[in-house]
Each structure stands twice: as structure tokens, then as C-alpha cells.
């Protein structure tokens, strides 16, 4: 294509939602590889040079990010404005329907346009995707090398491979970084993905990795260090570490933590680990970081987990999480409802087990029967009924009917609002013990409470409770109203017990807002807030019995040393 316009390559992406993880990292990885190849190609030709955004005499690379509510037609229109010759669709379970429709709109407008589909959803069932269109080529596997081969063929006027290209795993050491070459600016999203490893040694049946590469391929830590320095410069809020099991290799983990401390000491890290592998030394290393750790529990029933190729020793799991508690490490748990062999009663027991451990947050999901997974292969034999379109959610199982799944959904929403968004970790177990109720029973009652309030005084708060617009102080109002009603209907042995429980929720809420949001809260409490957090959080009834009530107004404000409580001055 010498002497002609540069070949225009446009990648279409759509994030799962807003936030610090919304950067189009997958598409950017492929775009970065294409830019690196193009730059090396240009440098070998005298008289050519790289231009803005990775452009040179042969190629121009762009990324179009779909807005949350943008229609496929609008996405396609923005892509067409870039005069594309090749459009890459970065397909995930949350966006494949919309981006495939955008691809169809592009094909209708420009029939000769080459459309390439990649990403996890494309890799899962490439033949089916190629058969239904609009993609001319579907890449199964990692796209960095495949996109170079495709563009090279186009530039040379050769026939394109396909319609399915099965890409071999790449050598991470040879891949360029989109954070370092300018493809992505971490300051735009306030967060950065740090890819340390590809491949997973585990074979959980519901995960894309169930048929993926078992061999672990590691990115050079020196490259990761440079990326951390870039994140430090941008002052990002979070570094999301893309390592399926951060603690799978103790030596590598220790080296990575040292790197984090040296090259990104002011950053906050999000890590995924396996609880059963955790050691006291690993917990100590995690405790040395500003980090949040996520652990996939999925179910507390070993028999259920066995059907999806996972194991669990509940006692061992609990002991391992206590190692994190001892080091002050913030951690969350994942649960899935609708797993084969599970029931609504079993899911409730899993909720009770998980919340009994006291995680900082609890993420609860409906089972997705993802294409390309071992679970999808077994789904018919297991009697699963699921949506064939993304996000492939289960509709019923022989032991978990549609009505029961809806009840589980209500519990999941209640857990999100009451516990996770409500930042309830500091008080939940103590208040639940005073309420003489299992966590799942409280969640069911809270779900009923929210339903009632949809037409009550808290209607506006309930409407926003599960959205990013939800304010924690509003959720706290729901929490205190709910428990106030609970204890009115089920009186405690002494009135002060219920009053102390409500005050504990208020003091905890004020502390977390000062810590997380830098907000100052003024409140009326019957006990000093430090005493509530130090003692009532363990046994609210014993605290109320042993501590004299002395109502007073307090403020909680942020400070250099953390949230600070102070008695409010009395008016003159």
C-alpha cells in the first residue's frame, strides 16, 4: 500500500461499567502489539517515521470505547468516522451482543470492511461466532500475534486467514505495554491493570480457564516495575493485578511484593489469591501492602464444589482467612448461586458461612454457563437451563428452580446493599448475634424491608441503593431504620442493647466515610464512639451491660492519622 493512505485499524470496546477498571486493557494490549510491529517495520524503511497515536506511513491504530448506554448504531457511526479498513471487536460476556450488533451495522454501511472478533467470548466458541457473522475472522486465543499477521496480509494484498484463527500462546517477555507506549493513560481512569501472569494451574469448570493454558507464563517484573512507576506518576486509585492466583508461587509472590513496595509504594493493589495456599508468611507480605484481596469461595458445600472441579475444607478455609485478619489485610469473598447440585437452602448456608468469617465485602453472582468452558460441555447432562445469549446466566437447575433463583437474587441484592455497600464488616457479626438471627435470615428480612420501602419514606434511597450513585450515609439510614424496626418487633433483653447496636452502626459508618471519602459526620451517640468500635463490635450486649450510657454529640473527621472522633462543643 505504498503511497496510499495509512491502513486504519479501529478496535471497538465496551467496559462492564464505570470505575477504575474501565480501561480497555484487552484491546489496548492488541493495539500496542500492532503499534510495536508497525514501528519496527517503519524503522527498517528509510524515510518513514512514526506519527501521533502510533500512526506511520502504513498504519493508523485507534480505540473506540462505547459509552454505557450508547446504541450499536451510534458506536458504529463513531467507528466509521475514523475511515476504518479493519475493525476489531473486543468481545466479553457483558458486551458481545452490543458489539456484534455494532459490527453488523458497520458491515451494512461498508460491506468491504474487514471485521475481526477477539476476546474471551470469541475464543469460547469461534466457529459459532464465525458462522453467524458479522466477523470475517475470529481469533481464538491471544490476539497480539494474530492481529499482526492479519494486518501484514492486508498490507501485502494477500488473502486473509480464517475464518477461525487459533492463536498460539504468546511469550509475555516479547509483548509491549500499552501503559508505557502511550496507548493507555492511567490518569484517565484512575486505575491500571498490571498483568503479571497468563495461564492458570486450576481447572474450575465454570471459568474460561477450565480449558485454557495450564502453564504459567510470566511477564518480566522489570516491565511491571516501569508500569508501576507510570501509575505512581498518574496517582491512580487502584492497581488491579491480573494474576489468577497471586500466591500460587511463594517466591514469585515475594518478589512481586518487593517490587510493589519499591516501585509503587503509594499505590493500592487489588489481588486474587487461593485461601488454601495461604501461609503466615504470605499473609505478612500482604499485610505490608495497601491492598485488598479477593478469594473465590463460590460455595461452602464441598459436594457442590466437586461438581465444578473445586475442593473445599471449610475448617481449613476459615483458619486461612484468620491469617489475613491477624495481619489486618482487607479481603472479600465471592459466592455463586445456581451451581449444579446446589439449592436455595444450601446457598443460604453458604451466605451464613461466608458472612460468619467477617469479610470486608461479599460479591455474589448468578452462575454464568460460559461458552468454551467445561461446565458448558456438561450442562445438558447436569440438567442446566441457561440463556444462550451473553451473559449466559442460568435460568434453572434440577435442584434450583427459577423461583428459587429469584429468591437467591433478592438475597444477593440485600447482601450487596446491607453488607458490602453498607460497609458493615465492623458491626455485622455483633449485631447479628444480638438479633439472634443467621446472616441469611437478616438478609431475607432486609430484602422484604427494601421492597416495602419502595413506596415508603426511603423510596428514593432504595431506588439508588444498588447503583453507583448510592451514598453511604443514605444506606446507613436504611440500616438503622431496618434494625430499629427489627428490635422493636423482637425486643432485646434490655433496651440499651438495641440502642448500642444502632449507635455502633452509626459510629462505624462515620468512621468509614472519614476514611474512604474524607467526609466529616456529626451524630448523636449514647456512648463514646471509640468504645463502641473497640468493644461493642465484639459483643454489643456485653458492652451495653458494662458501660454506662452518656448521650452526647460527636463528630468524626479525617486526619493524617486516620479518622478522628471528637466531642462536639455544646452551644453557649
Tell me the DSSP string of 10-74. EEEE--SSSSTT-S-HHHHHHHHHHHHHHHHHHHTSTT----GGG--SSEEEEEEEPPTT--HHH
What pLDDT does 382 receive? 97
Q: What is the pLDDT of residue 2?
A: 44
Whether the link from the prior residue into 159 is cis, omega within 30° of 0, is no
User: Which CATH code, of 3.40.50.300, 3.20.20.70, 3.40.50.720, 3.40.50.1980, is assigned to 185-420?
Assistant: 3.20.20.70
CA pair distance 327, 323, nearest whole angstrom: 7
Closest residue by Cα to residue 264 from 318, 323, 186: 186
For residue 293, what is its C-alpha cell? Answer: 484481596
Q: What is the mean pLDDT of the chain?
A: 93
83 vs 5: CA distance, rounded Å: 10
Q: What local confidence, expressed as pLDDT, does residue 390 receive?
A: 83
User: What grid cell was written down for 291?
Assistant: 491492598
- Say if CB 136 and CB 106 are below 8 A apart: no
What is the mean pLDDT of the segment spanning 165-182? 93
What letter does residue 373 receive in the DSSP assignment? S
How big is the chain, counted in residues? 572
Alpha carbon distance 545, 126 (integer Å): 65
Q: Are 35 and 29 in contact (CB under 8 A)?
A: no
Burial class (CB in 10 A: 0-12, 13-18, 19+), 405: buried
Give the span between the Cα atoms of 82 and 53, in whole angstroms.
Answer: 13
- What's residue 54's pLDDT? 39
Please determine whether the domains at 7-172 and 185-420 fall in the same fold group of CATH: no
Domain residue extents for the chain = 7-172, 185-420, 445-567
Distance CA 236, CA 263 (A): 14
Cis before residue 391, ω within 30 degrees of 0?
A: yes
- What is the rounded average pLDDT of the residues 440-446? 98
- Mean pLDDT for the stretch of residues 12-17: 92
Greater confidence, 508 or 466? 508
Mean pLDDT, residues 58-69 taken together: 93
The band of 284, judged by pLDDT with boundaries at 50, 70 and 90, is: very high
**CB-based burial of residue 407 (10 Å sphere; 0-12 exposed, 13-18 middle, 19+ buried)?**
middle
Q: pTM of whole model > 0.85?
A: yes
Distance CA 109, CA 96 (A): 20
Q: Confidence band (pLDDT; 50, 70, 90) for 49?
A: very low
Contact, 110 vs 79, CB < 8 A? no
Average pLDDT over residues 211-234: 89
Contacting residues for 529 by C-beta, under 8 A, at least 6 apart:
503, 507, 510, 511, 554, 556, 565
pLDDT in tens, 510-537: 999 999 999 999 999 999 999 999 999 9
Q: Which among 330, 377, 380 has a CA at the least distance from the CA of 515?
A: 330
The yes-or-no verdict on residue 194 having pLDDT over 50 is: yes
Task: Please state, for a pLDDT cut of 90, what percent of the chain lies above it.
Answer: 85
Q: Report pLDDT for 568.
A: 85
| Residue 59: φ, ψ to 5° | -150, 145
pLDDT at residue 570 is higher than 70: no
For 458-473, give one letter per residue: b (16+ CB within 10 A) or e.
beebbeebeeeebebe
pLDDT value of residue 367: 97
- Confidence tier at 200 by pLDDT (50, 70, 90): confident
Which pLDDT score, from 0 to 100, does residue 391 have?
A: 87
**What integer is the mean pLDDT of 50-63?**
62
Write down the CATH number for the domain with range 7-172.
3.40.50.2300
* The three grid cell numbers given for residue 526, joined into one nine-digit string: 449514647
Residue pLDDT, tens place only, 447-500: 999 999 999 999 999 999 998 889 999 999 999 999 999 999 999 999 999 999
Secondary structure (DSSP) of 62-75? EEEEPPTT--HHHH
Q: What is the pLDDT of residue 210?
A: 57
pLDDT-derived band of residue 16, with 50, 70 and 90 as boundaries?
confident
Residue 52 has pLDDT above 90, yes or no: no
Amino acid at each position: 500500500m505504498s503511497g496510499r493512505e495509512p491502513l486504519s485499524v479501529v478496535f471497538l470496546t465496551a467496559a462492564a461499567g464505570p470505575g477504575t477498571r474501565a480501561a480497555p486493557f484487552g484491546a489496548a494490549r492488541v493495539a500496542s502489539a500492532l503499534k510495536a510491529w508497525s514501528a519496527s517495520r517503519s524503522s527498517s524503511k528509510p524515510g518513514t517515521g512514526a506519527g501521533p497515536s502510533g500512526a506511520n506511513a502504513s498504519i493508523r491504530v485507534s480505540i473506540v470505547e462505547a459509552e454505557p448506554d450508547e446504541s450499536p448504531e451510534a458506536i458504529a457511526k463513531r467507528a466509521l468516522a475514523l475511515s476504518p479498513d479493519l475493525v476489531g471487536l473486543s468481545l466479553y460476556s457483558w458486551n458481545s451482543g452490543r458489539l456484534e450488533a455494532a459490527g453488523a451495522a458497520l458491515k451494512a454501511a461498508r460491506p468491504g470492511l474487514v471485521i475481526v472478533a477477539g476476546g474471551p467470548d470469541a475464543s469460547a466458541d469461534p466457529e459459532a461466532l464465525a458462522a453467524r457473522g458479522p466477523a470475517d475472522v475470529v481469533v481464538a486465543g491471544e490476539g497480539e500475534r494474530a492481529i499482526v499477521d492479519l494486518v501484514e496480509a492486508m498490507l501485502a494484498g494477500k488473502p486473509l486467514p480464517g475464518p477461525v484463527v487459533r492463536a498460539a500462546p504468546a511469550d509475555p517477555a516479547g509483548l509491549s505495554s500499552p501503559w508505557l507506549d502511550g496507548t493507555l493513560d492511567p490518569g484517565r481512569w484512575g486505575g491500571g491493570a498490571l498483568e503479571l501472569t497468563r495461564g492458570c494451574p486450576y481447572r474450575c469448570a465454570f471459568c474460561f480457564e477450565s480449558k485454557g493454558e495450564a502453564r504459567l507464563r510470566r511477564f518480566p517484573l522489570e516491565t511491571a516495575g516501569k508500569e508501576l512507576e507510570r501509575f505512581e506518576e498518574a496517582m491512580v486509585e487502584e492497581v488491579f493485578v491480573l494474576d489468577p492466583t497471586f500466591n500460587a508461587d511463594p517466591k514469585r509472590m515475594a518478589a512481586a511484593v518487593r517490587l510493589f513496595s519499591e516501585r509503587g509504594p503509594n499505590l493500592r493493589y487489588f489481588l486474587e489469591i487461593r485461601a488454601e495456599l495461604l501461609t503466615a508468611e504470605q499473609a505478612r507480605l500482604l499485610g505490608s501492602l495497601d491492598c485488598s484481596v479477593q478469594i473465590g469461595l463460590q460455595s461452602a458445600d464441598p459436594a457442590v464444589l466437586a461438581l465444578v472441579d473445586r475442593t473445599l475444607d471449610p475448617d481449613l478455609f476459615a483458619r486461612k482467612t484468620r491469617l489475613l485478619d491477624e495481619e489486618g489485610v482487607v479481603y472479600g469473598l465471592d459466592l455463586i448461586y445456581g451451581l449444579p447440585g446446589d439449592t436455595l437452602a444450601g446457598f443460604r448456608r453458604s451466605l451464613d458461612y461466608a458472612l460468619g468469617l467477617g469479610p470486608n465485602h461479599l460479591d455474589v453472582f448468578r452462575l454464568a454457563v460460559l461458552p468454551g468452558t467445561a461446565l458448558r460441555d456438561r450442562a445438558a447432562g447436569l440438567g442446566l437451563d441457561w440463556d444462550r445469549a451473553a451473559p449466559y446466566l442460568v435460568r434453572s437447575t434440577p435442584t434450583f428452580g427459577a423461583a428459587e433463583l429469584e429468591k437467591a437474587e433478592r438475597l444477593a441484592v440485600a447482601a450487596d446493599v446491607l453488607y458490602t455497600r453498607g460497609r458493615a464488616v465492623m458491626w455485622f457479626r455483633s449485631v447479628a448475634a444480638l438479633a439472634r438471627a443467621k446472616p441469611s435470615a437478616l438478609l431475607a428480612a432486609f430484602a422484604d424491608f427494601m421492597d416495602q420501602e419502595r413506596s415508603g419514606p426511603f423510596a428514593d434511597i432504595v431506588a439508588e441503593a444498588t447503583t453507583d450513585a448510592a451514598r453511604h450515609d443514605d444506606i446507613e439510614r436504611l440500616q438503622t431504620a431496618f434494625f430499629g424496626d427489627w428490635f422493636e418487633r423482637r425486643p432485646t433483653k434490655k433496651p440499651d442493647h438495641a440502642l448500642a447496636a444502632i449507635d455502633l452502626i452509626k459510629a462505624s459508618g462515620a468512621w468509614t466515610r472519614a476514611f474512604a471519602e474524607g467526609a466529616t459526620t456529626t451524630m448523636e451517640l449514647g456512648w463514646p464512639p471509640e468504645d463502641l468500635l473497640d468493644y461493642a463490635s465484639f459483643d454489643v450486649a456485653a458492652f451495653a451491660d458494662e458501660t454506662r450510657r452518656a448521650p452526647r454529640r460527636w463528630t468524626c473527621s479525617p486526619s493524617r492519622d486516620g479518622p478522628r472522633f471528637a466531642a462536639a462543643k455544646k452551644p453557649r
